[in-house]
Chains A and B, each alone.
Chain A
Amino acid sequence: MKGITKSFPGVLANDKIDFVVEKGEIHGLLGENGAGKTVLMSILYGLYKPDEGKILVNGKDVDIDSPRTAMKLGIGMVHQHFMVVPSLTVTENIILGREPTKNRILLDAKKAFNDVKEFCDRYKLEVDLKALIHALPVGVQQRVEILKALYRGADVLVLDEPTSVLTPQEVQELFRAISALKNQGKTVIFISHKLREVLAICDSVTVLRRGKVVGTVKANSTNLSELARMMVGREVIFKFDKEQPQTRKAVLKIENLQAVDDRGLPALKGIDFNVYACEILGVAGVEGNGQTELVETLAGIRKATAGKIILGEIDITEASPGKRIQMGTSIVPEDRQKRGLIMGFSVMENIILGRHDQPPFAKGLVRINIRETLNYAKNLIDSVAHRSNGTINVREVLSSARKLMESLILGSRDKTTIAKGFVRLDITQTSDYAGRLIDEFSIKTPDKDTLVQHLSGGTQQRVVLAREFSRNPKLIIASQPTRGLDIGATEYVRSKLVDMRNKGCAVLLISADLDEIWALSDRIAVIYEGRIVAVEDPEKTSETEIGLLMAGGKFG
């Protein structure tokens, strides 16, 4: 591809990109979200038309105006979101659009099956060909997608972020399959923003940044930090400095915690662990093993069916979410758009969520100081009762009555006010606070009144962090805190978590990303089918061991 330029309203997605892939290699296309990887590949696959530039296949100038043309030229693509028909079998999906027929009308099911079988064997991609797609795990569905592309005669296979939906074990299988394809002489373009994967599987790597090619390097002559620098444009931290804790005080104690999922089936089957101050406890596990329920139960939005949650010294098993927030729990939810933020609220409104009913943000509109009111009432009665010379002192009565009214309606300004009426949001205080946090957490927003739905994913996560980390939490529960974030934002979130740990917080980190668990945790707990199957010291364990435990394998 030469000099490819493509712009969308307001964005230059691809800026004079030259991209060369050799026959028979695995070529990584690396870049952050929005760097232009998918756009470039969509042009190659005929989904978009470039504004400028040309595409050469085997040295010949070609005009790819549709995916059909791309397929004719031997280019196949597997999208991030699969395009399979869930109710059809694997074979039916693979032959879709190129069905072998008898007499041009009838489907030749036998030939189809044999053809596909032969394909699977040749590329060593094992699939149960008669299974229905929707019954298959994601990793296998992906294999079907790859087979489909091959069946249509693809020589160049584009895989768009293929590992984002896979477990570590499935990733390993995918890598084996990609190597097998290479041995068969196929060319693979591997789109990713995960550095390790690119280094592990690719022969050469092209890095994109903001729509431009930063460079193309051989995988065996580069390393992690060089690629990261190319991708982000500056040095990236992978290891964080952690101070050793002075004390070992348990902030959160969980005893035999049990809960059911939305269908009423047991999701947590007796969880025990402690999280200590100045510690990050990483909970590793394949998604759907009870992580979501664990976080929700700790947050107080899902009822525990048995067991205890103890924060500090206090049993909070029955406490409301609001109470837990006040007691020093901060939560970074896994689904920030659903649980973490109110998309239709402004940055400011989101930042005070959870503290909106506390001073200094909330102020009494009607404040009644009971003692003062009673005093004035007594004065009033006295002044009516007390008759000098048998007549009521009108002036005295009126002034007492006025004071009584004032104390009822306006309230006094001292702090002994005990009854609060309708509570007013103090706009000056909230604005100041929001402004301060926007600076402190470098939230990229036009202003504090912008709705969070208009912000990017990374910025939204910063809003969540700003809110959760700035209320002096004792315990932070961070669930998949960097999911969907680009490398810069990921680094920021991770460094903030370490900061909070160093400041004395107990941090419970729940993540499906093993790299993340590895980089941050002081201890690693592995969750499998609602149980903590092991708690390991990262110094004394290996990724293989954790991976096995995550997949339910017992170790040793």
Chain B
Amino acid sequence: MLPQTIAIALAFGVGAITLLLTGYNPLEAYVAMLVGAFGDTFGIGQTFAQATPIIFTALAFLFAYKCGLFNIGAEGQFLIGAFFAALVGISFSGLPSFIHIPLALGAGILGGAMWGFVPGVLKAKLGAHEVITTMMLSYVALYITGYMVNYPFKAPGWVAQTVVISPSAWLPQILPPTQLSLSIVVALLLVAATHYTLCRTTVGYEVRAIGLNPSAAESGGIGIKKGIILALVISGAMAGLGGAGEVLGVHRRFIEGFSPGYGWDGLAVALVGGLNPVGILLASVLFGALRSGGMTMSRTTHVPLDIASILQALVILFVAAPMLIKYLLKRGGVKKWSS
């Protein structure tokens, strides 16, 4: 975690210089941000509420990455999951919550899994690169859900959104009036489950083996194609579950454009989190804090909210750049003397 910590420190350093150059007091801004993010229960609630969806999408990226796959389509899987959950949420009424909520979450998992299955099959059977297919499917998801909430499932009114889901499918809120819902508990369980699956199950073992060395995995009797499909299905399912959690716990309906790019944030957070579940949890909280703290900062000081976005971008830059350099160095092949 050391490189990440240094990168974050550097990001805040450069952020401070930016603030100074634009005539703001960095200390004041950072203190406001910190207080906003962690200063009271409302701030903490908002921080974790903002972190929740990113935890899901980051874990989704991580799982596929461990199989050597770049699933950059978490955004689409997230949206489909959210939409499926909303459908189940509005389709039934009168079900007891302990049935309706799992059903809706399950629909979200199913939707995301479907959106992971397609690129998985395309990769395994035809060799189509998952970066292309997952990204393209993201747009398919964006426009399909957009169409659905603009026409067949549009609620009366001006906004492109579904009607409110049945209260029996509502995920209970934890710290009202913050947006924090039980979805954070699901996210935390998923962090643990991901860690367990990767380290302690045969599925995780095979996924990691394929990711590290497909040739040796194949020689060791591991089905590469099956593994690739499974990894993308699980990855998609995780993102889909995150989408479902947002719908059931925060918005209570599917609203067009409700995701400000949680899928993409997930990719960045997975990298900032050092590509391990616990790191992802910490990085998600950092990003959540930047968002919720940033809002408080722009309210209490005169520093614009954009500073939070700049900080976020700097963190990503400082984490990703060394990785890129390392990767390029490896490819360049440093000459060694052999003895």
Could you tell me which A residues sit within 8 Å of B by CB distance? 13, 33-34, 36-39, 42, 47, 80-81, 299, 301, 320-326, 331, 333, 338-345, 349, 353-354, 356-357, 362, 365, 422-425, 427
**Cβ–Cβ contact A343 & B213, under 8 A:** yes
Chain A positions within 8 Å of B216 at CB level? 338-342, 353
Whether B221 contacts A320 by the Cβ 8 Å rule is yes
Q: How large is the interface on B (under 10, 10 to 19, 20 to 34, 35 or more residues)?
A: 20 to 34
Q: Which residues of A contact B203 (CB under 8 A)?
A: 422-423
Verify B219–A331 contact, CB threshold 8 A: yes
Q: How far is the CB of A477 from chain B (nearest CB, A)?
A: 11
A323 to B223, CA, bound (A): 11
Q: Which A residues lie within 8 Å of B212 (CB)?
A: 342-345
Inter-chain CA distance A253–B213, complex, in Å, is 31
A349 CB contact (under 8 Å) in B197, B201, B205, B221: B205
CB-CB nearest 6 A-B residue pairs: A322-B221, A353-B220, A344-B212, A38-B339, A423-B202, A354-B220
B299 proximity list for chain A (CB < 8 A)? none
User: When the two chains form their complex, are residues A425 and B221 in contact, meaning their CB atoms are under 8 A apart?
Assistant: no
Whether A338 touches B213, Cβ cut-off 8 Å, given contacts A37-B339, A356-B205, A357-B202, is yes
**Complex contact B201–A354 (CB within 8 A):** no
One digit per residue, 1 when the CB lies within 8 angstroms of any chain A CB and 0 when it does not, for chain B 211-240 equals 011011111111100000000000000000
A325 & B220 in contact (Cβ 8 Å cutoff): yes
The reply to whether B223 and A320 contact each other, CB–CB distance below 8 Å, is yes
Q: Are A339 and B215 in contact (CB under 8 A)?
A: yes
Whole-angstrom CA separation of A34 from B213 in the bound complex: 28
- Count of A-B contacts with CB under 8 A? 85
Whether B200 contacts A322 by the Cβ 8 Å rule is no
A-B contact pairs, 28 of them (CB 8 A): A33-B339, A34-B339, A36-B339, A39-B339, A301-B218, A321-B218, A321-B221, A322-B220, A323-B221, A333-B219, A338-B213, A339-B216, A340-B216, A341-B216, A343-B213, A344-B213, A345-B212, A349-B205, A353-B217, A354-B220, A356-B202, A356-B220, A423-B201, A423-B202, A425-B200, A425-B201, A425-B202, A427-B200
The answer to the question of B209 belonging to the interface, with a C-beta cut-off of 8 Å to chain A, is yes
Point out the residues of chain B lying under 8 angstroms from A342, CB to CB: 209, 212-213, 216-217
Cβ contacts B189-216/A at 8 Å (1 or 0 each): 0000000010011110110110011011
Which of chain A's residues has its CB closest to B338's CB? A80
The complex places the Cα of A47 from the Cα of B338 at a distance, in Å, of 13
Q: Which residues of B contact A324 (CB under 8 A)?
A: 221
Q: Are B338 and A38 in contact (CB under 8 A)?
A: yes
Of the candidates A36, A325, A333, A345, the one having the most CB atoms from chain B within 10 angstroms of its own CB is: A345
Look across to chain B and name the residue whose beta carbon is closest to the beta carbon of A324.
B221
A365/B219 contact (C-beta < 8 A), A33-B339, A344-B212 known: no
Does B337 make an interface contact (CB < 8 A)? yes
- Chain A residues lying within 8 Å of B223, measured Cβ to Cβ, are 320, 322
Chain B 170-206, CB within 8 Å of chain A: the 1/0 string?
0000000000000000000000000001001111011
Chain B residues near A81 (CB-CB < 8 A): 338
Please list the residues of chain B having a beta carbon within 8 angstroms of any beta carbon in chain A.
197, 200-203, 205-206, 208-209, 212-213, 215-223, 337-339
A322-B201 in contact given A342-B209, A344-B212 (Cβ < 8 Å): no
Determine how close the nearest CB of chain B comes to the CB of A489; give it in whole angstroms: 16
Q: Could you say which of A38, A80, A338 contacts B215, with CB atoms under 8 Å apart? A: A338
Q: Smallest CB-CB separation from B216: which chain A residue? A: A342
Whether A424 lies near B201 (C-beta < 8 A) is yes
SS of B interface (majority)? helix
Rounded to whole Å, the gap between the CB of B67 and the closest CB of chain A is: 13
- The distance in angstroms between the C-alpha atoms of A325 and B212, with both chains bound, is 21
Q: In whole angstroms, what is the CA distance A324 to B200 when docked?
A: 25
Question: What separation, in Å, do the CA atoms of A13 and B337 have in the docked complex?
Answer: 13
In the complex the two chains form, what is the Cα distance from A342 to B213 in whole Å? 6
Residues of B contacting A344 in the complex (Cβ-Cβ under 8 angstroms): 212-213
Please indicate the chain B residues that have their CB under 8 angstroms from the CB of A36 in the complex.
339
Contact check: which of A321, A343, A422 meets B201 at CB < 8 Å? A422
In the bound complex, CA of A323 to CA of B213 (Å): 20
* Listed residue (B197, B205, B208) with the most chain A CB atoms within 10 angstroms of its CB: B205
Query: Min CB distance, B247 to chain A, in Å?
Result: 27
- Which chain A residues border B218 with CB–CB below 8 Å? 301, 321
Complex contacts, B221 vs chain A, CB 8 Å:
320-326, 354
Query: Could you tell me if A340 and B205 are in contact, using CB atoms closer than 8 angstroms?
Result: no
With both beta carbons as reference points, the residue of chain B lying nearest to A425 in the complex is identified as: B200
| Least distance between A10 CB and chain B CB atoms (Å) | 14
Contacts of B202 in A (CB 8 A): 356-357, 362, 423-425
Minimum CB–CB distance for B10 against chain A, Å? 28
Task: Determine the distance from Cα of A258 to Cα of B107 in the docked complex, in whole angstroms.
Answer: 49
A301 to B215: give the CA distance in the assembly, Å.
9
Q: What residues of A have a CB within 8 angstroms of the CB of B220 in the complex?
A: 321-322, 325, 353-354, 356
Chain B residues whose CB sits within 8 angstroms of the CB of A320 once the complex forms: 221, 223
Contact partners of A339 in chain B: CB under 8 A: 215-216, 219
Residues of B within 8 A of A301 (CB): 218-219
Given contacts A324-B221, A353-B216, A356-B220, 14 further A-B contacts (CB under 8 A): A34-B339, A81-B338, A299-B219, A301-B219, A325-B220, A331-B219, A340-B219, A344-B212, A344-B213, A345-B209, A349-B205, A422-B203, A423-B203, A424-B201
B206 x A356 contact (CB < 8 A): yes
Across-interface contacts of B208 in A (CB, < 8 A): 345
Give the contacting residue for A425; candidates B205, B213, B215; CB below 8 A.
Answer: B205
In the complex, what residues of B have CB within 8 A of residue A343's CB? 212-213
Give the CA-CA distance A114 to B216 in the complex, in Å.
52
Instruction: Provide the bound-state CA to CA distance between A301 and B222, in Å.
Output: 11
Q: Least Cβ distance of A139 to chain B in Å?
A: 20
- Choose from B200, B209, B215, B337 the contact partner of A42 (Cβ within 8 Å): B337
Most buried by B among A39, A299, A342: A342
Interface-central residue, B213, B221, B222, by most chain A CB under 10 Å? B221
